[in-house]
Amino acid sequence: MAELLLKLSSAAAFLLAVLSFTPSFAAVEPKPFSRYISPLSLGLNKPEKLSHLHFYFHDIVAGKNVTAVRVAKAPTTSNSHPFGAVTVIDDALTVSPDIGSKLVGRAQGIYALTSLTESSLLMAYNFAFMEGEYNGSTLTVMGRNPVFSTVRDMPVIGGSGVFRFARGYVEAKTHAFDLKTGNAVVEYNVYVFHY
């Protein structure tokens, strides 16, 4: 019993010694919530580039190799009244309208039918590139897409990799739409400022 008390007292002494250092750690000043920094500290002293990217977006909602899946809908959602439907996408981006052409990236995100009176989507997605100088970089797009308009433009709100601090817009134009399946091929022209 005496040995047990001796072991416990030496363990307690060690614990007290460790805890005595804790106040010195607690005295370290926390980093501020926000602060102003120089753009130079992030390497933003280079001139901005304006890039134009052109590719085709393949939205496959039916058939083999589906890339767009409805994940939610309102109780009132129907084929004739699709308001409230939410779809998750992982669509191929290719250099031509042929889905078998060279893959340059994927469009990954969601779209939701957000209009009671027309076919209009809220699009929130990333273009995840896997080709050339943009390999591993992304552009983020979020905006309104009235799908039956000839040309729709949506803002580029940011990016990653070579597209950090990106800003610009995309123009989407339907190249092909299958009324029976709902599958679509959309031509994209992307105009983006980046460093």
User: How many Å is the Cα radius of gyration of the chain?
Assistant: 27
What pLDDT is recorded for position 171? Answer: 98
Residues 24-61: tens digit of each pLDDT: 555 677 888 898 888 888 878 888 999 999 999 999 99
Residues 107-139: tens digit of each pLDDT: 999 999 999 999 999 999 999 999 999 999 999
Residue 182 Rama label (left phi>0; alpha psi -120 to 50; beta): left
Q: What is the mean pLDDT of residues 61-71?
A: 96
In angstroms, the CA 70 to CA 89 distance is 9
**53 touches 107 (CB < 8 A):** no
pTM for the complete prediction? 0.80
What pLDDT is recorded for position 17? Answer: 58
Residues 179-191: tens digit of each pLDDT: 999 999 999 999 9
Burial 16-43 (b: 16+ CB within 10 A, else e): eeeeeeeeeeeeeeeeeeeeeeeeeeee
**151 touches 26 (CB < 8 A):** no
